[in-house]
Structure 1
Amino acid sequence: MKGKFISLEGGEGSGKSTSLSYILSWLEEKSIPFITTREPGGTPLAEEIRSLVLSERAEKVHDLTELLLVFAARAQHINEKIKPAIESGVCVVSDRFVDSSFVYQGVARQGDLKKISALAEWVVSDCLPDKTILLDVPVTIGLSRVQLREEHANRLDKESILFHERVRSGFMARAKADKDRFAVIDASQSLDLVLEHIDGVLANTFNFGKR
């Protein structure tokens, strides 16, 4: 039996790290074998590409360069880590996946969505998540959270408010277009409510009764 593939998405400051920790503890408690990974990144080569994408630099990174780097990392990630795990019956939990490309390099940077779709069809093909958990939070709240961890901010964290508003609307549009795959969670709620909602999504995805 193939393993499940779960991705976690959301704008900056949406609480993905905390939610990811909860998901992993949930899987461990249910004795479900899993690996955790992230995008861009996930393998040694893909992590090197991640540093190229996210590091601040004097030279302007062209939007097309960023897009192609992200998909290059994804190709390595899928073929060297994600697919082998799923085929061996191991659940894969990824902090971001292809939806982030449509949103960040597409909607937020106003890139060519047709070209991104073509890249996704070529690189990702049918390797889509079984469930994508989207943590939605107003931009002002998310960015205020990012400021509290300023020492960890990356190049994308420091984009304009308009950029982050586009990110949020882009994710919501993706979720609306694929309601079966996406589970949208209001991440402005208390942490207890957010985790309770995630618990329900996981229980449904893995056919477990809620706690």
Structure 2
Amino acid sequence: MPPRTCRRVASCARGCTRSCTSPSNGCCDDRQAIPAGGKEPRRGAVAALRRGRLITLEGGEGTGKSTQTRLLAERLHGLGHEVVTTREPGGSPFAEQVRAFIIAASTAPHAPMAEALLFLAARADHLAQRIRPALERGAFVICDRFTDSTLVYQGLAGGVPPATLEALDRLVVGDDHPDLTLVLDLDPVEGLARALTRSGGKQLDDRYESREIDYHRRLREGFLTIARSEPARCVVVDASESEPRVASAIWSAVSERLAGAWV
């Protein structure tokens, strides 16, 4: 498929049989999505997927990835699909331990390469335990952060050569690349303000959220750089809009880009 120009869309949708709880625990949701220009399928009729689809949400701090992961999962679930929601770092018991160790502000700063290797180890376990089994069942997997976050946080903003990270990630991910990546774009000043509100006005204790504003600007530019370089995979979503409008833009992107998932 020829590459398309990566476009920004105005604000605008994983599967298992349990009710959705949180990205860390995962959920299974059912909804049958609508191909662009197509008719909504009969409610409850589950589409037969040849293979599951991996959708990732990326972006800086406070962009609403967790909320939009949940909303997209609910929509797909309501259309009859099996949906698995998950997150990185995390998603499996071992990966959650890695997450707790690295993200806690109380731990001493770690060298970016050390962080990257820990994240890659967590991703290998996450793929084996959660993502690949779900894809093999034909489920939609929606992941809050994935490989792009490693390239941006430890690579473009952390100083690890991107080529090194890409080579290591190929060993870990193999052929299980995202079918669609939604980059939620937001001015870091607004994103950090949202994160502060979410914390109840308390000082941010996430070791990444608490970094200086220039660091967060580098993160934003890093995600946009990836989106520009891979327009066939990435869609940039304006996360400054209201939650319903962001959800609508995301659903439009999913319907257009993953039309082949409905057979």
Q: TM-score range by the shorter chain?
A: over 0.9
Q: Secondary structure at the match of 2:120?
A: helix
After TM superposition, list the pairs within 5 Å mapping 1:40-55 onto structure 2: 40-55=89-104
Identify the match of residue 228 of structure 2 among 165, 168, 176: 176
Aligned counterparts of 2:119 and 2:146: Cα–Cα separation in 1: 10
2:57 paired with 1:16: no
Determine which structure has more spread, i.e. the larger CA radius of gyration.
Answer: 2
SS, match of residue 2 in structure 1: coil
- Using structure 2 for the length normalisation, give the TM-score: 0.76
Residue segments in structure 1 that go unaligned for 5+ positions in a row? none
- Aligned counterparts, 1:108-187, within 5 A: 108-150=157-199, 153-187=205-239
- Which residue pairs with 1:93 in the alignment? 142
Q: For 1:195-206, list aligned pairs within 5 A.
A: 195-206=247-258
Q: Can you give the 5+ residue segments of structure 2 that lack an aligned partner in the other structure?
A: 1-49
Tell me the equivalent position of 2:152. 103
Moved over 4 A (4+): none
- Asked if 1:66 corresponds to 2:106, the answer is no
Task: Please give the TM-score of this superposition, normalised by the length of structure 1.
Answer: 0.93
| C-alpha deviation, 1:155, in angstroms | 0.9
SS in 1 for 2:153: helix
Shift of 1:57: 2.5
Which residue does 2:18 correspond to in 1? none
> Displacement, 1:109?
1.1
For 1:50, the aligned partner's letter is R
> How many residues were matched structurally?
208
Identity within the alignment, %:
38
Structure 1 residue 100: Cα displacement: 0.4
C-alpha contact (below 8 Å) 1:146/1:153 kept by paired residues: no
2:131 paired residue number: 82
Change (3 A) 1:69 1:200: same
More helix by share: 1
